[in-house]
Amino acid sequence: MTESASTPLIELRGITKVFGTGAAAFQALRGVDLDIHEREFVAVMGASGSGKSTMMNILGCLDTPTSGSYRFRGFNVERLDQDERALLRRRYLGFVFQGFNLLARTTALENVELPLVYRGDTAVKRRERAMAALDQVGLAPWHDHTPGELSGGQQQRVAIARAIVTEPQVLLADEPTGNLDSERSVEIMELLSGLNRDRGMTVLMVTHEPDMAAFASTIVKFRDGQIASREAR
């Protein structure tokens, strides 16, 4: 079964998103159609305000579209309620943010354990799996350091460990290298490519930088709330 022949993992049809009402209404997305297949590494590019962040929030089930349909693994996400979307995020999605968003004054290990807490794993199992995830990003020796004691690149790697500790199907990264220098950025990108290549994780990444987008297998460009181009590499 080839990628193009299989049912897409993510299927967007005619997605629109309007913020505000009346005269102040702002249309962030104007009819987006997009298919993303399993094991794809998609980089989403575009200028600020082009709708790519809104797009990522909808893909991450953090936000709902104003109209259109979003099917994830065949489920109609737009029909799910808040708790159902939370359960979907918990089960299938991992998030990496530009600002790392780690809990301050909390050790790397505890940060990585956090998603497992909500899955109801035992303390022993949480620790074991979190250590394994930290080991994957090469930070096992730093497990008892708090974010304040780690460099930016290390913090982002902790965040990636937190995102992958539940072995999600899709990793959503919103400008993961936005706060890092180029050397650290490359390290992070290599980590993401590795996860995509070796673990079969589908990666969706928003980025400004063409150098970073170059790691992806597909580049989707946004302009004025619509997809301007989609090119496979």
Partner 1 sequence: MDLRMLGTTFLLALREIRRHVLRSFLTTLGIIIGVAAVVTMVTLGNAATRSVEQSISNLGANLLTVRPGQGFGRGGGSFAPPFGLDDVATVRQQIGGVLHVAPQTSAAVIAVHEAQNWSTTVAGTTNDYFASSSLELESGRLFTEEEESAGKSVCVIGATITTNLFKQLDPLGRSLRLRDISCVVVGVLKKRGQAGFGPDQDDQVVMPIKAVMRRLTGRQDVGSFQVAVDKRFETKNVSAAITALLRERRNVAPGTDDNFNIFDAKQLSDTLAGTTRTMTTLLGAVAAVSLLVGGIGIMNIMLVSVTERTREIGIRLAIGALRREVLLQFLVEAITLSCLGGLIGLLVAFAATMGLAPLMRMSFEFDGSINLIAFGFSAAIGVVFGYFPARRAASMNPIDALRHE
- Asked if residues 174 and 53 have their Cβ atoms less than 8 Å apart, the reply is yes
**CB of residue 55 to partner 1, shortest distance in Å:** 13
Residue 82 sits in the site that holds partner 1 (CB under 8 A): yes
φ and ψ at residue 121, rounded to 5 degrees: -70, 155
Residue 125 sits in the site that holds partner 1 (CB under 8 A): no
Q: Which residues have CB under 8 Å from 23's CB, separation 6+? A: none
String marking each residue 83-112 x if it binds partner 1 according to CB under 8 A: x--xxxxxx-x-x-x---x-x-x-------
Residue 115 sits in the site that holds partner 1 (CB under 8 A): yes
Stretch that binds partner 1, among 39-47, 57-65, 135-143, 214-222 (CB under 8 A): 57-65
Token pair for residue 187?
A: 């390290």
Residue at token pair 């530009």:
98
- Strands annotated E in 83-124: 93-96
Cβ proximity to partner 1, 86 vs 132, nearer residue: 86
Cβ proximity to partner 1, 90 vs 197, nearer residue: 90
- Asked if residues 108 and 145 have their Cβ atoms less than 8 Å apart, the reply is yes
Cβ proximity to partner 1, 26 vs 118, nearer residue: 118
As to burial, measured by CB atoms within 10 angstroms (0-12 exposed, 13-18 middle, 19+ buried), residue 206 is: buried
Token pair for residue 127?
A: 């620790």
Residue 62 sits in the site that holds partner 1 (CB under 8 A): yes
Residue 51 sits in the site that holds partner 1 (CB under 8 A): no
Give the interface size with partner 1 as a residue count (CB under 8 A). Answer: 26
Residue 114 sits in the site that holds partner 1 (CB under 8 A): yes
Near partner 1 in 12-41, by CB under 8 A = none
219: β partners: 43, 231
As to burial, measured by CB atoms within 10 angstroms (0-12 exposed, 13-18 middle, 19+ buried), residue 177 is: buried
Residue 4 sits in the site that holds partner 1 (CB under 8 A): no
Question: Which residues sit at the interface with partner 1, rule CB under 8 A?
Answer: 57, 60, 62-63, 82-83, 86-91, 93, 95, 97, 101, 103, 105, 114-115, 117-118, 120, 122-123, 162
